[in-house]
Amino acid sequence: MDQNRNYRGRSEFKPYPIRNPEEPGGNFRSLNENDTVGPPPSYAPYLASDTDILKAAEIMTTYIYGESSNDNDKEIQCDLLTEDGGHEIDPTRLSYKERIRWHLKEFCYKTSSHGIPMLGQAPNTAYRIVWILLLSGCAFTFVYQAIAVVDKYYRMDKITDIQLKFDTAPFPAITLCNLNPYRDSKIRDEESINKILSVFKKMMKKAAGAADLEELEHAVEEGKFSLKLNRKRRETESKGSFEPANSVCNCEDDECEADAPKIPTDSDQMCICAFDRLTHDAWPCHPRELWLNTTCQHCDDHKFCQKRSKTGERHNAPCLCEKGESFCMMYDRVAKILNLWEFFGSSFDYNAEVSDEETEALGFGNMTDEVAIVTKAKENIIFAMSALSEQQRRAMSQAKHNLIHKCSFNGKPCDIDKDFAIISDPTFGNCFTFNYNRSDFKSSLRAGPMYGLRVMLFVNASDYLPTSEAVGVRLTIHDKDEFPFPDTFGYSAPTGYISSFGMRMKKMSRLPAPYGDCIAEGATSNYVYKGYTYSTEGCYRTCFQQLIIDRCGCGDPRFPSIGHHQHCQVFNKEHRKKAHGHASLIGALGLTVTPTCFTRTALNTNRPCIMGLAPYEFKQVGVTDGSNGPISVAWLRPFFHHDNTHPSFPGTCLEQSTHELGDIHGSFKCRCQQPCNQTIYTMSYSEAIWPSQSLNITLGTCEEEPEICNEQYQENAAMLEVFYEALNFETLTESEAYGVVKMLADFGGQLGLWSGVSFMTCCEFVCLGCELLYMVIMHHWKKYKFKKHEEDNNFQ
């Protein structure tokens, strides 16, 4: 240090304090008047660098600020501390603002962040400006990139991974239904069904043109209107055969005339006839007691028998002979005798009395289209059957063993009783599900039809309802945890063909919120298909049923009911046809479309009721105000289109609600998400004529010639094959495209690129913030305590 250095702007020379070696510790002392002012003695240091600065600093810190003997000592102490660049200052002895400044400067020197130390050590203002601009630009760029990274994360993007797995795929559940929901011979005794089919018969006759009316009546009499198979009958009568058959007869003495389609109400009305399936001739007919159960020596190919053989050939076949043995026919004592009313099925002989109110409730109106009439009749039957118990409905539909005759899986016979479970469907009646047991895992050993499900079904077309338009079976392939919904997702297979359904399975795994919008597992709380897992179709039906119940007070019979609510009744106008008014709201209020006298006050009084009805029709109507003349009331609109032939046409609740809701799948009122885990089966279909002429199988009681039995199979039976086309399946798995780990990695990369900051650097900033926060809190806390202490002293 230069001894000529001016201190604190003063020009006079101030010598350093003299060290007295005689004093204990060699302490410094201040100059006094008796000391000689001049060059320091030989034992005193001339420069601060030659002085034991650390010792001097230690001595100086032992005295408080006010103990210095003069100002010179204080300046010397500060200068000594300043000159020692290696000395660490105790920040606790600094003032509040100096401590904050000291901490910030120390952080600038020591931080591992790039750029900040350069700013702190900048030698001049120009350097500081340059580094401030660089740091600001990098900080702005980092913030911009960080926002982009965070925005990318919150988009919740996802990717779909598609894999083809070569493994054994679980075999799905297969639900089989007859296209005819209920047996005509069982259901015709139900009064409501009789009424519906009576109206149906009248509507079909009315819709039929004059040209084909005669043909329609012929079909009605035979009971084959909806079952006309248009198959070529045998060309010659020589191929016909006789068999005994029960029928309702009109008898005079011993001779009877068959009334084949009529259902017997009393056993006394019945007789036995020789019936020919080819010509539908029933003759001769006699009371039961006049037929003798005996043995005939000879019977020909037509099952016409002779008590005594004239040719010498003796077969000794069981037969039935009329009294006098003039006519005999072969008779199988084990087989059940044919009932002609069951053979002819529905004869359209429905003549039940139906009131005008009931006819109106059925909703046929002025329909002239046969397809629309059949559709409405099917709907009415569903409504009528919903009023019966499930046990009654099952008894009227086809039984398990009547429908399923032969079955094999993986080349081995099925146990029809154990492998099939019954499901009641409003549209198809009794349906039967194969592989329904959720704890029993079934899989195909190989690909191809031989290692899948093969089943032969007998639909008994002669017992079809007149509303059944097609003959065959309905097949639905689904996961065993889901309800099958055969009316929506099923496939129809015709009789007389072997239908092959090749399957391929896909497994979907979707991400739940926030990445997706799916139902994680199970079912929603109000799901109407109890015992089954959630599906989108079931959700829509649940929502639609709830909307119908809210509007009409009863449920749609096509879906399960909710809670204690009942299904809408078929003949109940308050349920099915909830009348909201006349042909239009104008008529309901006593107005006309033309201007009339109706005050605005009275009109507005009815506004809440008016606005709550028929929201799908808007129309301005001119109305005369008694005081202000003609006005235009925009919110007043008719409910329904006025029909001159039906001036009082009520609106149906179910039909109106369905019309307003439109496609319930697209309705904003029904929000149904996809399930997170779903199994999807795609199908390929092929068919071939079945059975072949060389096939000789037995089914039911058919003991005719093979070609005759084959014809019966072609009209009444179907063969189904359901199998995997290949032993592999696809998996589609959704996963997050940009998760937290990737976001943090990109965030750290941006920090390192633009600021040279790592995680440890972030910790440094956190520590600095904590230190400064602590200093501020403690400063204000001490200030508060000091102020409170002074107030207490002043109070005392």
Residue 573's region, left for phi above 0, alpha for psi from -120 to 50, else beta, is alpha
Predicted confidence band of residue 649 (pLDDT cuts 50, 70, 90): very low
Percent of the chain with pLDDT over 70: 69
pLDDT in the model for residue 576: 55
First to last CA, the chain: 55
Domain boundary among 323, 339, 362: 362
pLDDT in tens, 449-490: 999 999 999 998 888 998 999 999 999 999 999 999 999 999
* Shared domain check, 327 and 198: yes
Same domain as 52, residue 7: yes
Domain-embedded: residue 717: no
| pLDDT single digits (tens) 731-773 | 999 999 998 888 989 988 888 888 888 888 888 889 988 988 9
What pLDDT is stored for residue 510 in this prediction?
A: 92
276's tokens: 């020919």
Contact in structure between 474 and 490 (CB atoms under 8 Å) = yes
721 falls within a domain? no
Instruction: Residue 33: count other Cβ atoms within 10 Å of its Cβ.
Output: 5
Shared domain check, 148 and 71: no
CA distance 508 to 734: 8
> Within the chain, what is the greatest distance between any pair of CA atoms?
179
Could you say which DSSP state residue 737 is in? S
Element (H, E) at 685: strand 677-689
CA distance 565 to 426: 17
Of 344, 362, 380, the position where a domain reaches its end is: 362
Contact 625, 595 (CB under 8 A): no
Give one word for 448, left, alpha or beta, with left for phi > 0 and alpha for psi -120 to 50.
left
Q: What residues form DSSP beta bridges with 29?
A: 18
Reading the block at residue 604, the tokens are 């507005």
**Whether residues 119 and 257 fall in one domain:** no
* Beta strands at 304-306 and 298-299: parallel, antiparallel or unpaired: antiparallel
Does 400 fall in a domain?
no
- Answer yes or no: do 306 and 335 share one domain: yes
For residues 130 and 215, membership in a common domain is answered with no
Q: Around 623, how many Cα atoms within 13 Å sit in the side-chain half-sphere? A: 25
Do residue 208 and residue 294 come from a single domain?
yes
| More confident call, 413 vs 255 | 413
Q: Is the pLDDT of residue 393 over 90?
A: yes
Give me the count of residues in the chain. 796
Burial of residue 232 (CB within 10 Å: 0-12, 13-18, 19+) is exposed
- Reduced to 3 states (helix: H, G, I; strand: E, B; else coil), residue 436 is coil
Q: What is the DSSP string of 17-51?
A: PEE-TTSGGG-EE---TTSPPSSPPTTS-SSGGGS
Q: What integer pLDDT is reported at residue 163 of this predicted model?
A: 93
Report pLDDT for 525.
74
Q: DSSP letters of 632-668?
A: EETT---SS--BTTBTT-PPPHHHHHHHHH-SGGG-T
Instruction: Give the phi and the psi of residue 623 in degrees, each rounded to 5.
Output: -130, 145
Do residues 346 and 258 both lie within one domain? yes
Does 203 share its domain with 316?
yes
**pLDDT value at 719 more than 90:** yes
Is 339 found in the same domain as 217?
yes
Across the range 523-529, mean pLDDT stands at: 80
Residue 61's domain comprises 1-88
Burial per residue of 749-759, b for 16 or more beta-carbon CB atoms within 10 angstroms, e otherwise:
ebbeebbebee
The better pLDDT of the pair 397, 278 is held by 397
Do 350 and 222 lie in one domain? The reply is: yes
Specify the amino acid at residue 225.
F
pLDDT at res. 638: 38
Q: Which residue has the tokens 């250095």?
A: 5
Highest mean pLDDT among 282-291, 392-401, 575-584, 611-620 belongs to 392-401
323 in any annotated domain: yes
* Phi, psi for 491 (deg, rounded to 5): -120, 135
Q: Per the domain annotation, does 433 fall within a domain?
A: no
**pLDDT band at residue 45 under the 50/70/90 scheme:** very low
338 and 192 in a common domain: yes
Q: Which of 732, 731, 733, 729 is nearest to 171 (CA)?
A: 729
Last residue of a domain, one of 362, 392, 409: 362
138 vs 80 pLDDT, higher one: 138
Q: Tell me whether residue 413 is in a domain.
A: no
- Mapped onto helix, strand or coil, the DSSP state of residue 727 is coil
Domain count, the chain: 4
